[in-house]
Amino acid sequence: MSVGDSTQQRIAAQVNAFKVAAIQMASGPNVTGNLSEARRLISKAAEQGARLVVLPEFFAIMGMTEQDKVAVREQPGQGPIQSFLSETARKHKIWLVGGSIPMAAGSPNKVKNTCLVFDDHGRQVASYDKMHLFNLELGNENYHEANTIEPGNKVVVVDSPFGRIGLAICYDLRFPELFRAMKNVDIIVLPSAFTETTGRMHWEVLVRARAIENLSYVIAAAQGGYHVNGRETHGNSMIVDPWGRVLDRLPRGSGVVVADINPSYQSSLRSSLPALAHRILFSSEK
């Protein structure tokens, strides 16, 4: 094979490639301020050519208390956060994964932690409610999401121009059966707010594991830094390819992570290592 042939093959492999972005923030209790920062970062991602952009978990509010998010929860199709997501997606002609936002729940004292997806026309095309609720009692850190969040019960996959996208949020990352239930998705999006305590040891390992075992790209958009409420989140937003390689990352602070997704490369990997076709389904133990 000549050098010219090799170059042509590399160019051909990139024909279907497209850019995606993960937004990292250190959100506070002011919704308006957080939306302004999100707007700035999304614009930055779009300027770099990203066609699919993912925001972090609760990007619009990290309150002083857990009840603060209940006060700003929105009804489906109504409210400033949803309007922001729709208008921003339409303005930049991007698919926008709205991290997660507090949505109305069955209980007046709780919210659903909901990931909404908007297409490039600003239309909502998918909605996923976080299933697994974080609980941690470790030293001075105590988190009990079930006190203010109502869990979802449906696996959500959305068909897009970029392939099949599976939706998950933060603590869901620890439950590989959720991702298997998505059934061969091309991209996994993971808005998160991992604590520094757990993220330091587990975040990258788990993100890369989900990419490898599903031969999927993972776009992990995280909260990252110190928050006004005293919480510290781990950050390290990253985009990981199906071979488990970290294509780009941002350790701390607000910013944008951008990388190319190459469907031809992914297809080649799945043909070379057809692990998804080799799965054996075991009967559940009683």
As annotated, the active-site residues are 57, 130, 170
What does the alpha-carbon distance between residue 134 and residue 236 come to, in Å, rounded to a whole number? 19
What angle is formed at CA 240 by the lines to CA 168 and CA 28, rounded to 5 degrees?
55
Q: Which residues of 154-187 are buried (b: 16+ CB within 10 A; e: fewer)?
A: ebbbbebebbbbbbbbbbbbeeeebbeebeebbb
What does the alpha-carbon distance between residue 130 and residue 115 come to, in Å, rounded to a whole number? 8
Q: Which residues of 265-286 are buried (b: 16+ CB within 10 A; e: fewer)?
A: bbeebbeeeeeeeeeeeeeeee
| Nearest partner of 209 among 175, 162, 251, judged by Cα | 175
What does the alpha-carbon distance between residue 112 and residue 130 come to, in Å, rounded to a whole number? 7
Six token digits for residue 163: 């392939």
